[in-house]
Structure formats: C-alpha cells, structure tokens
Amino acid sequence: MSSTHSPAQTPLIRAFQSEDLPPLLVFWEDIYQELGWPVRPEDELEQIKDVFSGKTGFLMVVCREDEILGSGGVKPWHEAGSGILKRFYLVEALRGSGLAEQLLEKVEAKARTMGYHRLVLDAARDNPRAVRFYEKAGFTRFEPDELHHWGNVQMTQPELFWFYEKTI
C-alpha cells in the first residue's frame, strides 16, 4: 500500500460504499500482514456487504481519493442493544494523528443512532498500542460469559485477546 500522502488532502471519514470493496480488501490484507495474522474464512472479508449492512450493522471508512486508509464497523452482538466493534484499523502513517479518535467518535455516534447502547470488542494482547487506545477511549476490560458467541464466530484462542466494553 502506498504511504505517499499529500498533507493538503485531509482524509475523509464516511460510510462504506460498494465501490470501496476492492481497495478495502487490499487495505485489510495489508493490515493482517502487518500484524502477522493469516486471513481465515471466518474473518468474512469477502462478505463485507452482508456482515456490516442492513438495519443492524454498518462500516465506516477513512479514505483519501480512492485509497482506503482506515476502517471501523459495528455488527450485532448476541446481547440486545450491544454491538461488536470490528475491523477498526488505521494505516501506520496516520496513527497518532487523532484520526483514530475521530473515527471512533463517528462510529459510536452512528451506533447510538441505530439503537446500540454498548459496544464490545477484542484486542490482541500482543498489540499494546491498540490496548492503550481503547482504554484511553473509555473501554474497560471484561470477561464475556459465552465466548462461543464472540463476534458470531468460534473464538478458538481467547487467551490471545483482551475483551473490552463501553456504554455509549
């Protein structure tokens, strides 16, 4: 992914659109590679329109022209009124710029308009930057009662993650 961005072009945070899918998949594959994660079928990358769509889910993207620089979305969690924050990433060049905080604010605002009052998420224990970000943003650790419901997929290695929640 190119990291040569003109400072004059301010990234835009907006709702995902179908034409975003090809560059979004490239962005996510780059993020997975950076984190050393394999792309697994249960990650549902190709099914993005189904996972984050309709009346219960959404995805926001950070973009500059036709390049995706970040993303964050919410889909329903198994507890009423709760959504799970997923695919919250930002390119390395923009981390620490305040853009992640802006994206999270927009995601939380959209989630509230959709009737969510609580967000949950998981953060890899070996990703201290993400852990600090979520804790600074007001998320607190908790232990889910039923990990087999986590994100609608089987959580096979819960010991690798911290679980967080926040009332919004």
- pTM (two decimals): 0.86
Q: What is the CATH number of domain 12-167?
A: 3.40.630.30
Q: 58-81 pLDDT, tens per residue?
A: 999 999 988 999 999 999 888 889
- Dist. CA 56–CA 74, nearest whole Å: 8
User: Cβ contacts of residue 5 below 8 Å, gap of 6+?
Assistant: 64, 69, 93
Q: 108-154 pLDDT, tens per residue?
A: 999 999 999 999 999 988 889 999 999 999 999 998 776 555 554 44
- The sign of the torsion formed by the CA atoms of 143, 146, 152, 155 equals positive
Domain boundaries, the chain: 12-167
